[in-house]
Each structure stands twice: as structure tokens, then as C-alpha cells.
């Protein structure tokens, strides 16, 4: 769908959100972190861009999206909740709910720690960055609305990114106070055979069954010896149930 002129300036946001749209920036996350450090950003400030020159994934990986095709947004959450991972979970759940409203029959859900999946392919990713000085978290979401790299998923461009953002904010507001049950329901990783790869060191990758998430948001993986490993960070490969213990993984 061609971008709708002026849609970003229309009042389509639920109340309480301060949404700023820019055509281009380095990274919406970096901008909000800088604004927090400067004391010019607050809870529920939202920055959305048509294009990012240095869109970031986790671990300094790149987040790619052509001009205007996808939702590239960052949200300030302040103060930092007792369990910082909760805000990442909330944005992920809101994204899944928004996608479900657009594609009611879609097979969509979350992959630990920060991916939104559509039919087992990556539809979106979240990068949460904390400002300790400002007691805030910036949660960045890239959601493939009209474009996806090879092997990833998109929504097929049925909506404008602004409309997807409006749904996302609505769904965020509709989440219950206690999201723990809902989060586990939407977490497709649970019960799967997984390989957990740690930053920079795949020799220590752990393969096992993702049996739970604890109340700090850590993934619990039980290995073949029955030992449970807890992960704060890591990249997960969902292994096919009938496949060999390594390889054949879908990211």
C-alpha cells in the first residue's frame, strides 16, 4: 500500500501517548536514550521513523528496513519496573495482539527473548536499552509491515505502519496488570527443543527443552542430563522436534 500522506500527523493514537514521527534518523532507540539523558523524554514518549541509518539489533547487529516500509518505533517506559524484562514482554505481547487483529488466522507469537514470529519466521524484534541515570527503559520495536529480508516474514503491507502503531499502543494499554500467564501462553519457545547460543561463544551452546520462564524473565532449559540452565540473554534456535539435536534450526 502506498504511504498515506499526512497519516502520521492525524490524531489516531490512544490518549496518553506522545508520538513523534521523523522521516529519518540514526536509530530511534539512540535518540530516546539521548533525550532521556538530556532530561527531555518521559514515560510513554514514542519516537517512530520512516528510515534508520543505523537501525540496531541486539549485540550491535543491524536492523534493516527500506524507507517507509516497516514500523520502526521506540517507546520510553519509566520508572524501570522491578523486573526490567517485563516491559519487553509487554511490547512483545502488544505486537502479537496487534498482528492478530490484522491477520486473525495467523500463527503468531513470541520467541524468547525478543522476537515476534509469524509462521515460525521472524516478523519483528525488540531491543530494550536501559538508562540508569533516568530510571527508564527504551524499548525499540522493528516490525516488518511491508518488507522483510529473505527468510523473514512481513504483514504483506496490508496496513500503513502508522495504523499498526495505533493498534500496538491500544493493545499495550489493554494488557492486564499481571501479564505472566498471557506471556507464557504467547511464548512459542516453551516446550520446544531449543539450542541456546550465548553471545560470542557458541562452543558453550546448550541444547535442551525450554521448560519455563522464571519470574525474572529468564529462560529455563533442561538439558539431556536433566540439569536446568537459566538464561538471562542468548539467541535461541527452535529445533525441529523430529530432527537431529543440532542443525535444522529455524531462527
Binding site for ligand BT5 (CB under 6 A): 27-29, 52, 55-59, 61-65, 72-74, 114, 122, 125-127, 140-142, 144, 148-149, 152
Instruction: State in angstroms the smallest separation of the CB of 216 from ligand BT5.
Output: 20
Note whether 49 and 25 are within 8 A (CB).
Answer: yes
Residue 188 grid coordinates: 512459542
**Residue 176 region, left (φ>0) first, then alpha (ψ -120 to 50), else beta?**
beta
Q: How far apart are CA 84 and CA 95, in angstroms?
A: 18
Q: Minimum Å distance from CB 119 to ligand BT5?
A: 13
Nearer to ligand BT5, 150 or 177 (CB): 150
The smaller minimum CB distance to ligand BT5, of residues 36 and 141, is found at 141
Fill in the DSSP letter of residue 9. Answer: G
Closest CB to ligand BT5 among residues 20, 222 = 20
**Helix (H/G/I), strand (E/B), else coil: 209:** strand
- Which residue, 177 or 250, has its beta carbon nearer to ligand BT5? 250
Which helix (DSSP H) or strand (DSSP E) does residue 94 occupy?
helix 85-102
CB of 72 vs ligand BT5, minimal distance in Å: 4
Rounded to a whole number of angstroms, the minimum distance from the CB of residue 7 to ligand BT5 is: 19
Of the pair 142, 161, the CB lying nearest ligand BT5 is at 142
Nearest to 111 by CA among 138, 81, 128, 89: 89
**Which residues have CB under 8 Å from 188's CB, separation 6+?**
109, 110, 111, 117, 238
Nearest residue to ligand BT5 on Cβ basis: 125
Angle between helical axes of 85-102 and 161-173 (0-180°, round to 10): 120
Measure the CA–CA gap between 56 and 39, rounded to whole angstroms.
23
Query: To the nearest whole angstrom, how small is the minimum distance from the Cβ of residue 142 to ligand BT5?
Result: 3
Q: How many CA atoms lie within 13 A of 17 on its CB side?
A: 23
Nearer Cβ to ligand BT5 (148/176) = 148
Nearest distance from C-beta of residue 196 to ligand BT5, angstroms: 13
Smallest gap from residue 49 Cβ to ligand BT5 (A)? 7
Which CB, 126 or 239, lies closer to ligand BT5?
126
Contact 28, 161 (CB under 8 A): no
- The three cell numbers of residue 231 are 538464561
Amino acid at each position: 500500500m502506498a504511504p498515506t500522506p499526512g497519516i502520521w500527523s492525524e490524531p489516531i493514537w490512544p490518549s496518553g501517548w506522545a508520538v513523534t514521527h521523523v522521516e529519518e534518523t540514526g536509530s530511534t532507540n539512540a535518540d530516546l536514550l539521548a533525550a532521556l539523558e538530556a532530561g527531555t523524554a518521559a514515560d510513554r514518549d514514542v519516537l517512530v521513523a520512516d528510515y534508520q541509518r543505523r537501525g540496531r539489533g541486539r549485540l550491535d547487529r543491524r536492523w534493516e528496513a527500506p524507507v517507509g516500509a516497516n514500523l520502526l518505533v521506540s517507546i520510553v517506559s519509566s520508572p524501570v519496573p522491578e523486573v526490567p524484562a517485563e516491559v519487553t514482554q509487554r511490547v512483545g505481547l502488544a505486537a502479537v495482539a496487534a498482528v492478530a487483529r490484522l491477520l486473525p488466522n495467523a500463527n503468531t507469537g513470541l520467541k524468547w527473548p525478543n522476537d515476534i514470529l509469524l509462521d515460525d519466521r521472524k516478523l519483528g524484534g525488540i531491543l530494550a536499552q536501559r538508562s540508569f541515570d533516568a530510571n527508564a527503559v527504551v524499548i525499540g520495536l522493528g516490525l516488518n509491515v511491508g518488507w522483510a529480508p529473505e527468510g523473514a516474514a512481513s504483514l504483506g503491507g496490508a496496513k500503513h505502519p502508522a495504523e499498526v502503531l495505533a493498534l500496538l499502543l491500544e493493545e499495550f494499554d489493554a494488557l492486564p496488570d499481571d501479564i505472566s500467564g498471557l506471556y507464557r501462553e504467547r511464548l512459542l519457545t516453551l516446550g520446544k527443543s531449543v539450542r541456546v547460543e550465548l553471545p560470542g561463544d557458541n562452543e558453550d551452546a546448550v541444547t535442551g527443552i525450554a521448560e519455563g520462564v522464571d519470574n525474572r524473565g529468564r529462560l529455563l532449559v533442561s538439558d539431556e542430563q536433566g540439569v536446568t540452565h537459566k538464561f538471562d540473554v542468548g539467541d535461541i534456535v527452535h529445533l525441529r522436534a523430529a530432527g537431529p539435536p543440532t542443525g535444522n534450526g529455524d531462527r
